[in-house]
Structure 1
Amino acid sequence: MPRQIFQLKMSLAGVRPPVWRRVLVPAGYTLDRLHRVAQHAMGWRDCHLHSFEIDAVAYGEPDPDGGLALHDELDVRLDAVLGKGSRFSYTYDFGDWWEHDLVVEDALTADHDERYPICLDGEMACPPEGIGGPPGYQALLAALADPTRPESAVLRGWAGDAFDPTFFDPTVATTLLRRFC
């Protein structure tokens, strides 16, 4: 039977302009591998906890102390809980609360000559880690647009001089996906 590939669109909730990625991933991936795909496609550094919510069920790394009631993401294949048209969420960093809306846009047959996962497209750079969630990111964008704002120097310093909120290269994301996922 030919291998199935899911085309997923990941959009960061609560930010404008939109930050999103479109990726192709094997439908046989487990949720922990999808976590790695989200990290590398979006541009996060995997420094914080995360969870998925699919049909009102929470998945992630089980908490040995029982603080978070999560089903083990290692035990769940995408094709067992998702199909074309499925919508679900991925939350990264429970402090900053970066919520991602995901949709399975299509289910395709794998191209035998292609390596997966692949980042097909996307827009805007990922917000810097620890910037303070969507409100902090909006403040950073305002500071970058108007360097005379009082908080501008601090926020620009946090993001780094090289941070360009408009830059995203799907080729770089694909290279990271293939190396780490």
Structure 2
Amino acid sequence: MVRKNNKASKSLYQIKITLVGSKPPIWRRLIVKDNIRLDQLHSVLQVAMGWLNYHLHQYRVGSLYIGIPEEDFDIEVTDERTVYLQDILSNLKDNFIYEYDFGDGWEHKIVLEKILPLDSSASPVVITGKKACPPEDCGGIWGYSDFLAAIQDPKHEEYEEMMEWVGGEFDPDEFNMNLINQKLNDLKF
């Protein structure tokens, strides 16, 4: 159940975002204010994970869909600009799904790990994570697996095509927390 609550922030939330189905796991741990709106959280997630915001997205909280309402959709969607993170997460281990790119179907599980006292710490901020974000439009978790197989074997029949497509290099182990936090610092809301 979503509570509509636009009160001032009372806490910081430590949340973990894991790309569902990634092996080894691709994840980020962030500190955000409890009163961040879900449209703002979308911007944070795009930067933290490394996506480029080319595609549609939505949140799934139980049977509730939260996103950008669209007349053409067959399902009822609650406007993400009216929902705050504290409306859907309040207890440790509470979680929900953030889906990005309906074609590729990237699902991210977001879990509330800690509730911290509000202080003057920078927010939002990534405090740790693992692995690079898959390239946009690589075909979801299965396409990403095929992509990695191709770029890790110069003898693979799609090696040259995939390397050209990705711009000549891709390190699946790369995680640059400083760069991510610089970009998060540039977000304005």
TM-score normalised by length of structure 2? 0.90
1:92 to 81, 96, 100: 100
Whether the 8 Å contact between 2:9 and 2:33 is mirrored in structure 1 is no
Distance 2:74 2:167 in 1: 35
**Equivalent residues of 2:9, 2:34 under 8 A apart:** no
The residue number in structure 1 matching 2:67 is 60
1:163 counterpart SS class: coil
The residue aligned with 2:28 is 21
Alignment check: 8 A CA contact 1:28 1:78 kept = yes
The equivalences for 1:109-120 within 5 A come to: 109-112=117-120, 114-120=121-127
Contact 2:14 2:115 in 1 (8 A): yes
- Return the offset for 1:2: 7.0
Q: For residues 126 and 61 of structure 1, do their structure 2 counterparts lie closer, same or farther at Cα, with a shift above 3 Å needed?
A: same
The 8 Å contact of residues 2 and 109 in structure 1, kept in 2 or not, is answered as no
Secondary structure of the 1:40 match is: helix
Deviation at 1:69, TM superposition (A): 2.4
Structure 1: where are the runs of 5+ without partners?
A: none
RMSD: 1.5
Aligned counterpart, 1:5:
12
8 Å CA contact 1:140–1:156 kept in 2: the answer is no
| 1:135 partner amino acid | W
Tell me if 1:32 matches 2:39: yes
State the identity %: 38
CA distance in 2, matches of 1:180, 1:58: 25
On the 8 A contact 2:39/2:80 being kept in 1, the answer is yes
Q: Partner of 1:111: helix, strand, or coil?
A: coil
Q: Does 1:105 align with 2:113?
A: yes
Hey, what does 1:137 align to over in structure 2? Answer: 144
Which residue identity is paired with 1:59? I
How do residues 71-82 of structure 1 correspond to structure 2 at under 5 angstroms? 71-82=78-89
Letter in 2 for 1:108: L
TM-score, length basis structure 1: 0.94
Distance 2:160 2:19 in 1: 25
Q: CA deviation at 1:159?
A: 1.6
* Matched residue count: 180
